[in-house]
Amino acid sequence: VLQAVTLGTVMARLAKKQRAAVEKLYWHGLAAETTEALAEWCSRQAAERMGWNSFRRISPGFPLWPELAEQKKIFRLLRPGRVGIKLSPTWQMIPEYSTSALLYSDG
């Protein structure tokens, strides 16, 4: 299963709008954790629909899948541009609070 989730541009704008550095950090932390929670929830929903008892979620650019350029394969198949997610020339996802993953059953 492939997935891509995003909070869109609202959270990034809210974080940048903050004047104090500590407030920017709080907003960034909130947005990053919310993105991760959304990805985890979507992963669990997909695993349940697939009938998997357990699963793994891996993403390009992380230790189990270190090649960030692999994002282009996910983008080609999933077409997350439909929900406003793009890739930068260095394969970073835009908007900032977005993530993609490959899910597979491990049991």
Question: In the prediction, which pLDDT does 55 show?
Answer: 97
22, 38, 53, 59, 92 from 50: Cα distances, Å? 42, 18, 9, 19, 29
**Predicted pLDDT of residue 14:** 86
Question: Is pTM, for the whole model, over 0.75?
Answer: yes
pLDDT along the chain (107 residues), means of 10: 94 86 91 96 97 96 94 96 95 95 94
Q: What is the pLDDT of residue 63?
A: 94
What pLDDT, on the 0 to 100 scale, is given for residue 81?
95
pLDDT confidence of residue 12 = 83
